[in-house]
Structure 1
Amino acid sequence: MLKIAMIAGEASGDMLASSLIRAIQNQYQGEVEFVGIGGKMMQDNGFKSWHKMETLSVMGYIEVIKSLPEILKVRYSVLKQLLEYKPDVFIGVDAPDFNFFIENKLKQAGIKTVHYISPTIWAWRYKRIFKIKKSTDLMLCIFPFEEEIYHKVGMAAKFIGHPMANDIELNIDTLKYRKLLNLPEDKTIITILSGSRIREVNSLAEILSQTCHKIAEKIPNCLFIYPFASQHTLAIMDNYLNENKPDFEYKLVLNQTRDTIKASDMVIAKSGTVSLETALCKKPMLICYKINKFTEWMLRRMVTIDYVGQPNIIAGKEIVKEFLQEDANPDSMSEYIIELFNNQQKRKAMIDEFYKLHYTLLQDGSTEGAKAVLDLIHNRVND
């Protein structure tokens, strides 16, 4: 029997790991046992979870500090179990702080280790790569340029594609999603992605509201949609808009972000993964972000890339206009969106770049990842 151990720390990792489990089961001609820490999707595919994944699904400094005793208890316990279990391979899915520690201890014990999704060493704190190399035998990468970064330090890495590129269809039927969400077909819909964190929504609420106001003055028949992934962040924006009584038409939606993007004509997106999601949905957009001065000063000392938007980072050039810090203001952003609305050629050029991006990232990630994992195990068995 092939023994594979995995640890996923949150919902996105649970999804990635469950897909990888299915691909390994399809490729391996024999019985496989999957154990470790995982969520419902993994367990639905035959995974046995030794601990609750929710213990590791903690975000925010205060929350992490409060949960630290329990996290450390789980870390010690699962490490002891893994060393006794002696899997043929261990796969850490994201959760780098937790998983790299586990990977290091297991590799020292002679167990092959894999990490799925590279931390952003290409953006900041590059020197982490040397600790990663000591802990991990194989890195599975979701961006094409990451593979070469690891190869330069003599570490095995494989680009297997971005999971979102597989999840999002190449050609978006905008009308279909408007009907799905019961949105009007005759309006110009602009989706406003203000972030998934409380701090982000608080810092951008006023700027985005004023931007919408200026856009509505120049683009008739506009509807602004604000999608949110949590009731808490939705409530923050709802309270702000109710208090300030904006003179533009808007709607707030919960847990329908991707469908809302697909239903829109244009998007204003906070920097982050959602900017890549918007690009893969082929929607003309801008990227904005605003942080406090001290955080900006700290990041400028550490960040080593020219762009913050993931579409631009992957393309190696600015295909989406970035409005950061002082540039993230209502005048500049509204002026750009209005120009984009009135310039069909400019919108088409951006969409063409998004198609190129989608094709670059569109790989059969789980199948390729499973093949790489099984190859690694095979090499170990032959030793």
Structure 2
Amino acid sequence: MKVFLVATEESGDRLGAALMQALKTRLGPQVAFRGVGGYEMAAQGLPSLFRIDDLAIVGLAGITQALPKLISRIRQTARAALDEKPDVLVIIDSPDFTHRVARRVRKKNRTIPIVNYVSPSVWAWRPGRARAMSRYIDHVLALLPFEPDVHKKLGGPPCTYVGHPLVEQIDELRPNAQEAAQRTEGTPLLLVLPGSRKNEIRRLIEPFGRTVERIARTVWPLDIVIPTTPHLQDLVVRETARWPLRPKIVVKREDRRAAFRAARAALAKSGTVTLELGVSGVPMVTAYKMASWEVAIARRLIRVPSVILTNLVLGENVVPEFIQNDCTPDKLAAALTPLLTDSPARRKQVEAFARLDQVMEIGVAQPARRAAEIVEDVAKRGKS
């Protein structure tokens, strides 16, 4: 079986690598991989067409600036997939790139089955994409449990909840007895998560720093930890150099996970990390800022009552979010300070997060294995 995979961001690279490993477990030497991916997929045996480092973009402004390069890489990737004639094409997340590849491939060769791993956020904005996807996607592998129903209601392709990769990382994310005690006793540890991209960090690091300063006036002593990635470490060090309370900056995976297990609360950028915190049982306050013109467009398009994944999965707005003009140190500090004590606000979040086990099938779901089963099935049906 020849599988052509396309992933252009780190998160997609991790998913792709796990899928490749699961397919090798199922098929052994009878599977071969081609396509586009990062370091983890390369370690599983994928010879990537090009490096994906410079394709990681965010927001409408980022897409506009990178458009010429994106178009060139999209064409290159689609041509390679058509030349390979794989048994199945698997596109992973990054819909601004991967779905354009899929449409080009389907237009030129309708016999190549196409699987979409990670559904676009059709539940949040542009719901018409679901019906449009049914013309070029044969199956969607969903990370969020409510997405199959959404695709069914919107007329999208067949969609299966395979499980979020976080469900396989519970031992890394949840505290042992000693770490659980640290969450409620001794010096509180506050996680600060300003984002995983440079423009996000530059917009949020200043209000987050002033928020920490305000909290430290009433909660003392206080430990601050900022988990980040190696390529962003220097930026975070520079941007936090003027903070009156200096944070500990960690970049290794094991140090990041240890911080999650010990944290009493978190101040985080809206995004995937909110689900990571929820699964870890860490109460949080979330915030986001973007360019004013992006906000104007987003407000016209977004159709959900919250942009926090944890809230959407739970079906309840448990986690407070402060977006744009509401993202001020005073408001953030007022919402975050009670989470560092045994308050009703803290207990409400902790109790809600306990429901995630059932909703997300934690302890039951095996995302990569489920995904591999469906990919193999779609490939076999494509041959028949």
SS in 2 for 1:135: coil
Contact 1:9 1:38 in 2 (8 A): yes
Q: Could you tell me which residue of structure 2 aligns to residue 13 of structure 1?
A: 12
Residue 151 of structure 1 aligns with an amino acid whose one-letter code is: K
Distance in 2, matches of 1:55 and 1:205, equals 23
Distance in 2, matches of 1:27 and 1:228, equals 34
SS in 2 for 1:7: strand
Q: Deviations over 1:118-163 (max 9, x none)?
A: 1112111222223322221111110111111222305211111111
Q: TM-score, normalised by structure 2?
A: 0.86
Contact 1:92 1:100 in 2 (8 A): yes
Residue 211 of structure 1 aligns with an amino acid whose one-letter code is: T
Q: Deviations over 1:306-359 (max 9, x none)?
A: 012111111111121223334333333323333233335543442232232244
Q: TM-score, normalised by structure 1?
A: 0.86
Between 250-259 and 120-129, the greater mean CA deviation after superposition: 250-259
1:92 counterpart = 2:91: yes
Contact 2:188 2:340 in 1 (8 A): no
1:378 counterpart = 2:380: yes
How does 1:257-336 map onto structure 2 within 5 Å?
A: 257-336=256-335
Determine what percentage of the aligned residue pairs are the same residue.
27
How does 1:343-354 map onto structure 2 within 5 Å?
A: 343-344=342-343, 346-354=345-353
- Distance apart, 1:198 and its partner CA: 3.3
Superposition RMSD on alpha carbons, in Å?
A: 2.9
Distance in 1, matches of 2:298 and 2:290, equals 10
Contact 1:10 1:53 in 2 (8 A): no
Contact 2:203 2:290 in 1 (8 A): yes
Q: 2:371 aligns with which of 350, 363, 369?
A: 369
SS in 1 for 2:119: coil
Contact 1:191 1:225 in 2 (8 A): yes
Q: Could you tell me which residue of structure 2 aligns to residue 182 of structure 1?
A: none
1:252 counterpart = 2:252: no
Contact 1:118 1:140 in 2 (8 A): yes
Aligned residues: 371
Contact 1:160 1:368 in 2 (8 A): yes
Distance in 2, matches of 1:154 and 1:73, equals 28
SS in 1 for 2:130: helix
Q: Could you tell me which residue of structure 1 aligns to residue 219 of structure 2?
A: 219
Q: Could you tell me which residue of structure 2 aligns to residue 52 of structure 1?
A: 50
- Distance apart, 1:114 and its partner CA: 0.5
Residues 107/321 of structure 1: CA separation in 2 closer, same or farther (3 Å cut)? same
SS in 1 for 2:208: helix
Residues 44/320 of structure 1: CA separation in 2 closer, same or farther (3 Å cut)? same
1:202 counterpart = 2:202: yes
Between 292-301 and 160-169, the greater mean CA deviation after superposition: 292-301
- Distance apart, 1:300 and its partner CA: 1.3
Between 145-154 and 60-69, the greater mean CA deviation after superposition: 60-69
SS in 2 for 1:134: coil
